[in-house]
Structure 1
């Protein structure tokens, strides 16, 4: 096992090392890959375990001096790749997966070798063997895709983004990361919008990582810096005016019982409840009132709301629609951030707040009572937009530029598919 692991690591790292050592050796390695004779086949010895080096997963925070160093190394590596002509395109015409023998696998192997996902020692052949399967999974993990080893439309799209575009994406995000690599506090929460992911960081280490749902393209989650100061257990949900106009009013025109079915009350300026039948839903008069949903299982924020001061009326929260976390493209909210396994995050946030352990938190949820809890020590929170970063030598991560902030249409993969 140790021998095969070293064998893989030496092959997988060859291209990256060549990129750092100079254009001549980089040219030699890439030239060897692209011009290789066919070799390697099913009767060769192969072992999927040997291709699990260079782990993509890491406890290193995206906001850290080490990440800046690693992305600088990635820029150097990708500069070398670009200087030698980049990687080959992989024909996106077939469903390639483990066990397939097809001429297109040759181009796939070369593509994965150039980016360092497949060791050069795996050879060039038409066989989609366990080496290729592990390399595709590694590529998918680096690009935020389900690591199933199957080449579908999103994997093909990510794979066929050109090397110069990926280099530019790394350079753009290096600038962003350099501005956030200072002292952010011993404990903080970072929401990365393009990755739809949350990091809870404790002493320069990711203590928790959560899948998130962030804003739609037309209702974007804002960039902001603040501090989490309040947890509301069993929250009321006050619908933003934008949702009242875009969603609730049209729904009431279709179904006059919509508000009653969803436990939503209309409150006037004096706080008194207004009967929905007294409102003309063919106009937008309702937008001047407050719409408040009672706590409960169907509440839009479900069990908990995480508050922090900001001018956008943005917050983090639970959701009754847990199935949305299984989606590949998790850009479905109206700007706020939904958090998977939010109770773990809240328990972590309440760590320094006396008497609020996990047991009391869970009991309060069961009570159904609206309960605000002030954090004894506010925790900084940063909403950011990082679509490319690196967590280690030879491990570059890329995500869909969902809001088009990187300035290259080719990076908005979800819009093109």
Structure 2
């Protein structure tokens, strides 16, 4: 290696500060930690001065990241680790020597706005100015290396945000257990790096986000909403009284204009007057899609939804695009997915929907958690052991008010050993050492069947006697578990055995009255997810109530600036920052 000058040593300190100070961008490791095998790749020194400068700058990171570290599930690492691995696998060769590549990078970074990200996060103007200065002057080796590493860090950071999301979901929910990446993570990122080698940076950005139609529709919906915002937003409708069929006046004219702006009423009808049949149909369609009672009357709830500012709806789409980046890779093969905020469940086989049903989910005070598991067995004719929270808050007060409540609901009182107790022997003002169990039966709290997927929350899918609640638009009515409207249909599909476990076979199993656990021949993944948007049949984005108020925290994370260090080629030295600081 050539002899290093004092100025280069100072510049090397700058590079280290630049690389390590970006630790706040830690992401799930996109490529495997450097192994002994990969260290052989850079055994020979780079054959040019810029490569030698990059190698010297990154060398301290080799000790910061142990070379034989075994990747762990859900491991979080600094982007600096990815930068190091990137350069090691190319023998520290500079990556941004082609002006066209830099132009594509700058354009692609700007275009991240179409994915709901914030282009300003990537310090585009600083990169552009630095590149212009390199082109206009005779840059030093240190400056060329500095720019190259800055461009690479920005490139990787943007790709990771597009690929896996900007916000770390495990920081929003300590119980988050979805795997951080789908497929082969190293191969995934190396494919994107190959696009850079092929001088097709734009393709790397095009390939990074989810490729599913759902995501493309969200992107298109975001663009349409921004067009509406840029044109002045959609009209507000006067509140104060319900608007009903047959009415006329200024508020009805505003309602018609608002329905046109949202795509619910033909534009040529906007100048017509009155709350006519066309308006009734449009209001009902809007109410159905927004999870409001579809009565055709624009009451307080409907008017409030209509008057949500378009900017808030833009943010709602951005939040759900971020969720899509977390989860869409899971939507393949055979699986069951519960849409918590949408009160629905669906089963997919070979990636295609084969069944869906309405569900009831947890009340806001007893919310249904977001997690993934595997359905392993079915309980036929289940008994129900009353959970402690429901026992304390619901059942004991009912027993105190009505001594006949237990008998009427076929609930037995058991001691710690499982012996049946006489309810009259229990001090219901301070019951201790007991639990309650409801006998099996179609009118029991769990109905005829429970679909089990072992988890830390005692959550499951089950039948219910409260079938009247499925007719309601808002179905956050349970104590956390998911009540399914047509559970026996789902059980038949899960067994996927038309001979033994067809509809007749399931009815025969239920008819024997015994409580029995039957394992599935093949475990089926189940995903409990939370989305506050839907897509209509024509691809338009529609909006659901955020029943658990989860959107705000995701939006807050999206709004936090990405802490990329400043790039100024005139600076020679910055303080070193300890690696791992502010790591995601």
TM-score class normalised by the smaller sequence:
0.7 to 0.9
Spell out, residue by residue over 1:294-353, the C-alpha distance to the aligned partner (whole angstroms, 9 max, x if none): 111331011111110110001111111111111222111110011112222222222248
| 1:14-413 pair list within 5 angstroms | 65-285=212-432, 288-352=433-497, 355-391=500-536, 395-407=540-552
Contiguous gaps of at least 5 residues in structure 2? 1-113, 115-209, 554-584
Task: Name the structure with the higher strand share.
Answer: 1
Query: Residues 97 and 346 from structure 1, CA distance in 2 versus in 1: closer, same or farther, beyond 3 angstroms?
Result: farther
* Cα deviation code 1:60-94 (max 9, x no counterpart): xxx98111110011111111212222112212344
Structure 1 residues 195-204 or 215-224, which shifts more? 195-204
Equivalent residues of 1:141, 1:147 under 8 A apart: yes
Q: Distance in 2 between matches of 1:186 and 1:97?
A: 47
Q: CA deviation at 1:185?
A: 4.0
CA displacement 1:354-413 (0-9 Å, x = unmatched)? 6111111123323322232211111111111101143566511211111111129xxxxx
* TM-score, normalising length: structure 1: 0.77
TM-score (norm 2): 0.56
Q: For residues 305 and 185 of structure 1, what CA distance do their matches in structure 2 show?
A: 25
How far does residue 284 in structure 1 lie from its aligned partner after superposition? 4.2
Distance, in Å, in 2 between the alignment partners of 1:98 and 1:333 is 35
Aligned CA distance change for structure 1 residues 100 and 231 (closer, same or farther; 3 Å): same
RMSD: 2.2
CA contact (8 A) 1:105 1:125 kept: no
Contact 2:246 2:275 in 1 (8 A): yes
Q: Which has the higher Rg, Structure 1 or Structure 2?
A: 2
Task: Give CA-to-partner distance per residue, 1:182-202, whole Å, 9 cap, x none.
Answer: 144422111111111112222
Contact 1:245–1:284 (Cα < 8 Å) also in 2: no
* Higher fraction of helix: 2
Distance 1:181 1:64 in 2: 9
C-alpha separation in 2, matches of 1:365 and 1:197: 25
In 1, Cα distance between equivalents of 2:293 and 2:346? 19
